[in-house]
Amino acid sequence: MVVSGEISDLLLWVGLIISIPITVWALARLFTDGSSVRKHFIAKNSVWFGVFAFTIGIPMIATMAVYKGFPVFGHLFYSEPAMVEVTVERKRSRFHVRGYVFCEGIFYAKEFKSSFDNSICGLEKSDWYSLRMGDKVTLIGNSSSFGFMYSDYKIHDFKG
């Protein structure tokens, strides 16, 4: 799902604000005598690793949960069928990119701008290899104020 640009910035800030009290609570537990968290990290001789993991990990997980989870949940209830025509801005250098297990055939659209990810994936291998910068692709799916989720696509061939 491509999250709309206006709502993505707001969701990033909401996720970060939510993560602040959780991080403070986790760090307080880390430095409270007798807490199970402190006992675990002292036994491993890695209290500073706990500090690093809590201050980086908790905000990252909370922000991504809000940024990706809330729009998808809202989109499922408030979306309507739509067709969107996009222009290929660029595509990944390879069809399959390591780390993207569920997302092959990635390209980026000029019309979708998001804070984290404006990629569109799931193209068939033959379609992805024939795709060039500037090509038009019609995405068929559902649109809402949260963003756009497509279920099918059609590549327009203007080359004659």
Q: Which residues of 83-111 are buried (b: 16+ CB within 10 A; e: fewer)?
A: ebebebeebbeeeeeeeeeeebbbbbbee
Average pLDDT over residues 34-47: 84
Split at pLDDT 50, 70, 90, the class of 80 is very high
Q: What is the average per-residue pLDDT within 113-117?
A: 64
pLDDT at 116: 60
Residue 110 lies in a domain: yes
For 69, phi then psi, to 5°, come to -75, -45
Picking from 47, 78, 109, the residue at the C-terminal end of a domain is: 78
pLDDT top residue among 14 and 157: 14
Of 99, 115, 104, 128, give the one whose Cα is nearest residue 64. Answer: 115
pTM for the model stands at 0.67
**pLDDT score recorded for residue 59:** 92
Tell me: do 86 and 60 sit in the same domain. Answer: no
Local confidence band at 85 (pLDDT 50, 70, 90 cut-offs): very high
Domain that holds residue 53: 2-78
Count of domains forming the chain: 2
Query: Are 58 and 96 in the same domain?
Result: no
Q: What pLDDT does residue 117 have?
A: 66
Longest pairwise C-alpha distance within the chain:
74
Domain assignment present for residue 160? The answer is no
Average pLDDT, the chain: 85
Q: In what order do the strands lie in the sheet with 147-155?
A: 2-3, 147-155, 136-144, 80-91, 107-109, 119-120
Does 6 lie in the same domain as 73? yes
